[in-house]
A and B are shown apart, each in its own frame.
Chain A
Amino acid sequence: MRILVIAINTFKEAIRDKILYNLLFFALLMIGTSLLLATLTVGEQSKIIIDIGLASINIFGVLIAIFLGIGLISKEIEKRTIYNILSKPMPRYQFLIGKYIGLLLTIAVNTTIMGIGLYIVLAINELQWGHSILNVNPDIWKAIYLILIELMVVTAIALMFSTFSSSSSLSAIFTIALYIIGHLTEDIRLIGEKLQSVTLKGVINLIYYLLPNLDNFNVKGRVVYGIEISPIYLSLVTLYGLFYISIVLLLSGMIFQKRDFK
């Protein structure tokens, strides 16, 4: 119950944030512009629109997750409102989870808005060519769903950094770095395979499984070419995301519990 109150409060606070609207505006602008860019190509206009649209949803979603996520705790500390909240008879982890769920709500709403924007642009494109709206590739929602799960992971990571780092720009840098590394894990694994030493191989493998494999959530290319994304894959990746988020949140809770607020 208390978690829910904090979540709703966080959501209300987040949707008052100017950064959110700026990012949302640019995302929708990008998706809209894809319609113009598509006129530059020959054949398969919808490919360009889907590519740009999904990439925009992903990039701006990550930016929203990072910039709102890092401010979750540090803002409370800056404004000294945290003393008020933590003095209440409530475990700290509940506060943390409430904050996280509130932000997730914000991100889910935003991703849905961007997704609807992309759908409308694709529908306009189909109508321009005299096709039915039903021609719009329904699989884009699978890609958007997985983008949302990826954003959930990124948000959890941002939240974790914001529980112990005193500067929000530092948390942002850490989160962005982890986001980048999260997309390069495949290469880390390849390096591991090429190594001779067994210990080194073990270390690389450990790092590989420790880091978030964010590329799991990337099905953007497969959606464009109508390559089947099986329900098993979708549920497995969802499970992976949920497990990873749980660990990150657990760690955040442990750090947050021990933190001293002076």
Chain B
Amino acid sequence: MERFKNYLIQLLIVPIALSVYLTQIQIEGYKDIEQRIEKFMMLPKGEYLKPMTLGYEQLVGDIIWLRAIQVIGDKVVTSKGYTWIYNALNVVTTLDPKFVYAYQLGGVTLSTLGNRPDLSNMLLKKGMKENTTVWQIPFYIGFNNFFYLDDYESAAEYMSLASKLPGHPTYLPKLAARLYVQAGNPNVALEFLARMYKETDDEKVKSALEQRIKEVIVERDARFLEGAVNRYKEIYNLYPDNLQDLVRKGIIKEIPQEPFGGFYYFNSSDSRVYSSVVKERMKVYGKK
């Protein structure tokens, strides 16, 4: 009888262990990604955290870094979520100020994925203070100022700053020079984006950049087609019914391919060219 009792108690371990497992799964269901990001909000300031790490600041920085990059690029991360990711990366770089890659990846993701060039620039400028010889950091600031903030002059300044640092790619001085002259040209933006794409390792950031590249191609093509439409109007004194007319009348050879797989059309109500996929024209390059 006593032996049987012991046996029964041992058997109980299995259902209890199973219950532990099942409850944990239930708990996990309540921890969504928002919660994982919100944890970054509660991080103490890097300045206060640093003495608490007792000389292990790199290790603590790595742990926060690893957590942060797991959520970077997830679609559900909102703009507010990126504020917290900025917060996490700010702590990481205070603990580990020479961690250049954190500035780089943070800089690109905050602007391309999070649409927060302000936070991106804040992080990058902090990185510039700590790492004065890394050309990528001013390069990214230049990109932000050019692409998101419309500040071509300071973009060109940061670019030429980057082109004076060791290890910079040979195209950089040229790019800086073109920025000064042709600030609003989508082709310059495309060149820029292609370089950014090459400099990035992270897949999520790469796909975000690819999206941007396609959007700029749409803008470039739309401008090209609008130019053709205007020439058509000068010749025939009326707008074409559709874009095919331009080809038929020999004004352009062909209509460029829409990069998202859609098509271009002419909207007679505001006499502008649109893509069937990208409904809005880019604001940055919209002004002339």
Contacts and interface: CB of A to CB of B under 8 A. Distances in A.
Given A184-B51, A221-B96, A225-B98, A42 B58 contact: no
Interface in B28-83: 51, 54-59, 61-62, 65-66, 69-70
A224 B55 contact: no
B72 to A, nearest CB: 9
Contact of B66 (A41, A58, A215, A218): A41
A43 B56 contact: no
Of A52, A55, A220, most buried by chain B (CB within 10 Å of CB) is A55
B201 interface: yes
B105 interface: yes
Given A218-B55, A221-B96, A48 B201 contact: no
B101 interface: yes
A40 interface: yes
B202 interface: yes
Of B58, B69, B201, most buried by chain A (CB within 10 Å of CB) is B58
Of A41, A220, A221, A225, most buried by chain B (CB within 10 Å of CB) is A221
Contacts of A58: 55-56
B96 to A, nearest CB: 7
A187 interface: yes
Nearest to B96: A221
A247 interface: no
Interface residues of A, number: 27
B58 A220 contact: yes
Contact of B202 (A42, A52, A179, A218): A42
Interface string A222-252: 0011010000000000000000000000000
A5 to B, nearest CB: 37
Of B55, B65, B101, B202, most buried by chain A (CB within 10 Å of CB) is B55
Contacts, number: 56
B55 A44 contact: no
A54 B70 CA distance: 24
A187 B51 contact: yes
Interface string A28-52: 0000000001001111100110011
A52 B99 CA distance: 15
A55 B59 contact: yes
Contacts of B62: 47-48, 51-52
A58 B55 CA distance: 10
B29 to A, nearest CB: 23
Given A42-B201, A187-B51, A55 B58 contact: yes
A214 interface: yes
Contact of A52 (B54, B59, B69): B59
Nearest to A220: B58
Contact of A41 (B54, B56, B69): B69
A181 to B, nearest CB: 10
A180 interface: yes
Nearest to A217: B55
Contacts of B99: 47
A183 B101 contact: no
23 contacts: A40-B70, A41-B66, A41-B69, A42-B201, A42-B202, A43-B101, A43-B105, A44-B101, A47-B62, A48-B62, A51-B59, A52-B59, A55-B59, A58-B55, A179-B54, A186-B51, A187-B51, A215-B55, A220-B58, A221-B96, A221-B98, A224-B58, A225-B98
Nearest first, the 4 A-B pairs at minimum CB distance are A183-B54, A55-B59, A218-B55, A51-B58
Interface of A: 37, 40-44, 47-48, 51-52, 55, 58-59, 179-180, 183-184, 186-187, 214-215, 218, 220-221, 224-225, 227
Interface of B: 51, 54-59, 61-62, 65-66, 69-70, 96, 98-99, 101, 105, 201-202
